[in-house]
Chain A
Amino acid sequence: MLADFLTGLQNALHPLNLLIMSLALAGGIAIGTLPGLTATMGVALLVPLTFGMDPASGLLMLGAMYCGAIYGGANSAILINTPGTPSAVCTTFDGYPLTKQGRADEALFTALVSSVIGGIIGTIFLMFAAQPLALVSLKFGSPEYFWLAIFGLTIISSLSEGNMVKGLLGGALGLLLATIGIDPVTGHTRFTFGFRPLIEGVTLIPAMIGFFSFAQVLSLVDEDQKYIAEYSPIPGVIGKVFSKLLKDCKNIILRSSLIGTFVGILPGAGGNVASFVAYNEAKRWSKNPDIYGTGAIEGVAASESSNNATVSSSLIPLLSLGIPGSPVAAVLLGGLLIHGMRPGAKLFIETGEVAYTFIIGLVVANLLMLFVGYLGMRIFAQVLNVPSHYITTIVIVLSFIGSYAIRNSLVDVVIMMVCGVLGYLGLKVGIQPGPIVLGLILGTIAEEGFTLSLLMSKAQGSLLSTFVTRPISAFLIFMCILSIVSPIYVRMKKSRKDKLEQNV
């Protein structure tokens, strides 16, 4: 193992591989930044390019592209309130308010550093704990997925600004939107109201582009400001961010990275679920939860460290069991097979040298991202110096092609436009897009988990033993209760304290 490890390190640090990874990272960041273009698309695009390459270099290129694309989503989320990938939805909650405060540099650099740390922590787990973690992921059945989704949904109470009922209503509407189309268990078509193209359901990415990008465009047009926000580069931003992260965010980044690592190993979950859970936990553990959503560096750090931690951990079931747990892992599986590698128990025995090159390469790619991402950040931030009426039309064109590209369907463009108008009207009447998109993301997981668990309980003859008494389910139920009760407790405590202070 040590010999393979050292060879892997040597290969990963080869100048040619460093160059390949840097280019793939730059491409990944650009793809991640553009809404509608996904990490899966970017990695799939590069697979044919690896045919003629040395297996190690080819895999390093794919890994770097994956890291860059997940991080890249943060740039547009922070600068124009448009998450480039679903994983970056939570980054908008604090990233965009920071931009509006003229602190875009801080938000961008926080996202970069947090992504790098999250990515490295996830890779360490991939390197040293792949086998036991993969076995944990196998213990996750339908009831556990159902409770995980419910746990994710409990964040809605934290996302509700001003009016809790409207926040919950937004989440419920997202869940309702997710039920449109074919039922995942019986195959029954529902809620299409005779409009056949809806059979395939409301696709997440076009809906997300609509609720965030198009709604944001309409808001910008409505605001009629010359620029999105005031921007001038802040001198010493690197030192400022590093000291803030070291002082206030080290626990948040560590916790969020661990959450990302754990959620990432679960097939079907991923960066979007991880970032919501991590954001919720960061807010719940915070002494000042009220700062979240108003431009808190902590919020950006939680979201970005967790979603990048899922990059490596999502590969754990693939590399140790041969099970691709995410669309990107499935594409990477193709890349591995092309190069004669067989993911699973024998991967590290038969092709240990290449496997370790790939894993160590992910650490190196994350470190390289610090430099490539920093250069990119300087370029992307210039968007704020472009008049907003230029931005609005360019974003509409990109939203069109981004929505269309998912399934090559104009129906998705219509979905994007309708969701955009609804999102804009929702913003006006106090329903934020965050809870709606959260409902849409978790709705499918919750429904599949619920219905399959129900069938399981019928076979087992006990609803209680299926839904409640399984150890992981019981833990998740406990977390759900904690997540709901603790903000209420904190709020009550705070109002009591305020009343006491007023009386004094």
Chain B
Amino acid sequence: MTMRKFNYILSILILALCFFFWIDAAGIRPPAHIYPKTVIAITAFLAVALLVQSIFFPKALIQGKPFEGTKYGRVLTTLLSTIVYFFAVKTIGFYVSSFFFLVIVTWILGDKSEGVKALARLGILGIVVVGLVYASFKLFLKVPTPPGILF
């Protein structure tokens, strides 16, 4: 899909967002409503400007296809793994989840031709990183970590 088409989609999505914000802003008491409504109006105006630019002045746009060459598999794997990691942190605990996240996701994203040896190395990496995070955040900085069933 070309940048021009993406701009159409982007403009419409932002206009829809502005519409929902505008409806919600109706309940704000004066004079507090002026600022948010002004910001919404400016955003909507710019979205329309982008739409007009895309329709009538396509030369002004960055040419090319924005998602061309995107490695969807890698990006989606990272994204889904992060979502799973979030729920694991919430239920199991930060340190255990982080260890498994580091080992598994680094292995998935890395060069798999190294086989089991790489996994062993990643296990050490996981222990070192989680250990450093624990020492610096928990012991030294006293920063609380998300609680879970385990550690």
Of A4-12, A109-117, A181-189, A348-356, the stretch lying at the interface with chain B is A181-189
**In this complex, which of A222, A410, A421, A443 has the most chain B Cβ atoms within 10 angstroms of its Cβ?**
A222
**Interface size of B by Cβ–Cβ distance < 8 Å?**
63
Q: Determine whether the beta carbon of B14 is less than 8 Å from that of A169.
A: yes
With a CB–CB cut-off of 8 A, which chain B residues contact A224?
71, 74
Question: Chain A nearest CB: distance from B135 CB in Å?
Answer: 12
Cα distance, A363 to B133, chains bound together (Å)? 32
- Known contacts A410-B146, A421-B79; A163 and B61 CB within 8 A of each other: yes
Interface members, chain A 192-209 (any B CB < 8 Å):
193
With a CB–CB cut-off of 8 A, which chain B residues contact A390?
106, 110, 125
Q: Determine whether the beta carbon of B129 is less than 8 Å from that of A168.
A: no
Q: Determine whether the beta carbon of A173 is less than 8 Å from that of B43.
A: yes
Q: Determine whether the beta carbon of A392 is less than 8 Å from that of B32.
A: no
A454 interface residue per 8 A CB criterion: yes
Cα distance, A398 to B74, chains bound together (Å)? 20
Of A286-294, A401-409, A484-492, the stretch lying at the interface with chain B is A401-409
**Among candidates A163, A387, A393, A455, residue contacting B105 with C-beta atoms closer than 8 Å:** A393
Q: Determine whether the beta carbon of B34 is less than 8 Å from that of A218.
A: no
With a CB–CB cut-off of 8 A, which chain A residues contact B10?
429
**Among candidates A37, A193, A218, A410, residue contacting B79 with C-beta atoms closer than 8 Å:** A218
Is the contact region of chain A dominated by helix, strand, or loop, or is it mixed?
helix
A253 interface residue per 8 A CB criterion: no
**In this complex, which of B21, B28, B82, B145 has the most chain A Cβ atoms within 10 angstroms of its Cβ?**
B82
A45 interface residue per 8 A CB criterion: yes
- Known contacts A41-B141, A451-B31, A451-B34; A414 and B43 CB within 8 A of each other: no
> Besides the contacts A45-B142, A401-B145, what 16 more A-B pairs have beta carbons closer than 8 Å?
A37-B141, A169-B14, A169-B50, A173-B43, A176-B39, A190-B24, A221-B71, A221-B78, A389-B106, A389-B109, A389-B110, A413-B146, A417-B82, A428-B67, A450-B34, A454-B34
30 A-B residue pairs with CB within 8 Å: A45-B142, A162-B62, A165-B46, A166-B50, A176-B17, A176-B43, A179-B36, A179-B39, A183-B28, A188-B27, A190-B25, A191-B24, A214-B82, A222-B70, A222-B75, A394-B102, A394-B129, A396-B78, A396-B82, A397-B98, A400-B98, A404-B146, A405-B137, A405-B144, A410-B89, A413-B146, A429-B10, A451-B31, A454-B31, A455-B31
